[in-house]
Structure 1
Amino acid sequence: MGHIDPTKEVFAQFRDNDRPGPIHMLNLVRLRKEAAYPDGRKVSGAEAYAAYGRDSGPVFERLGGRIIWQGRFELMLIGPQEERWDHCFIAEYPSVQAFVEMIRDPVYREA
């Protein structure tokens, strides 16, 4: 089971956090062999993720987002040994509000 979207309650807590300064989000991405699109399109998970990046990246950058670290998964030292990640990175947003604006942006939502 993946964890892509927060619950409404957790997102409300996040959105209402008005602390100043940037926020950092750790992203651990596992790609499916085949993407699962509601319309039934057939592409690999890697192709789908690349398309998502091409389409959502400009919105992310326009709102002040940037990747501050990325690396390659090598070993699960502490945690479930069966976990594997295809992409590992930390995204920085200038504020909670910038992240909220991004996920509400129609171009981002389409991606």
Structure 2
Amino acid sequence: MTTYLEPTQASGRALMMRGLTGPVVMLNLLRFRDVADYSADPGLAPDSPISGAEAFDRYVAHTDPFLRETGGEVIFMGEGGPFLIGPEAEYWDRVMLVRQASLDAFMAFADHAAYLEGIGHRTAALQDSRLLPIAPMA
């Protein structure tokens, strides 16, 4: 099973080539690890094991100030589950919609040094994910 946790150079280039202007909403589909894996960033690890969902909550708490600083906000976060229409075996633990003021604002957020210091919570939390940038229809 292929998992997706980070953008590729090709997907980043394709996003920039879309020429999106104005607000962008990021649809996040998130599947958590049963137990968070901090092996890639042990300095962020809590004293005792936590769930992937708890690690992601730490990521959201860390991220929110930097998201707001660049004009973004979480506009929806909810519990996922299996699809009504879609692959029967596929499920997502959580769904999140994040509004960014613009693609440039998103890039400023994603490159913010203080934000990146806590990204290890996201890495520890996720087993798999999808991120779909959505632009309003004209």
Q: TM-score range by the shorter chain?
A: 0.7 to 0.9
- Tell me which residue corresponds to 2:15: 14
Whether contact under 8 Å (2:82, 2:90) holds in the other structure is no
Superposition map of 1:63-74 within 5 A: 63-74=70-81
Mapped to 2, the partners of 1:46 and 1:74 lie a distance apart of 14
- Tell me which residue corresponds to 2:84: 77
Q: Please, what TM-score do these two structures have when normalized by structure 2?
A: 0.70
RMSD: 1.9
Query: Which residue identity does 1:58 align to in structure 2?
Result: P
Mapped to 2, the partners of 1:74 and 1:87 lie a distance apart of 8
1:92 CA displacement: 0.7
What are structure 2's unaligned runs of at least 5 residues?
A: 119-138
What are structure 1's unaligned runs of at least 5 residues?
A: none
Query: Which residue identity does 2:78 align to in structure 1?
Result: G
Identify the match of residue 62 of structure 1 among 59, 65, 69: 69
- Tell me which residue corresponds to 2:136: none
User: Sequence identity of aligned pairs in percent?
Assistant: 32
Mapped to 2, the partners of 1:19 and 1:76 lie a distance apart of 29
Q: Please, what TM-score do these two structures have when normalized by structure 1?
A: 0.84
Q: Name the one with the larger strand percent.
A: 2
Mapped to 1, the partners of 2:10 and 2:104 lie a distance apart of 17
Whether contact under 8 Å (1:56, 1:107) holds in the other structure is no
Please give the secondary structure, in 1, of the residue aligned with 2:11.
helix
Post-superposition CA distance 1:20-51 (Å, at most 9, x none): 20011111111111112224544321221111
Mapped to 1, the partners of 2:35 and 2:18 lie a distance apart of 37
Please give the secondary structure, in 2, of the residue aligned with 1:73.
strand
Query: Which residue identity does 1:78 align to in structure 2?
Result: I
Size of the alignment, in residue pairs? 111
Mapped to 1, the partners of 2:82 and 2:14 lie a distance apart of 33
Query: Which residue identity does 1:13 align to in structure 2?
Result: A
2:111 is equivalent to residue 110 of structure 1 = no
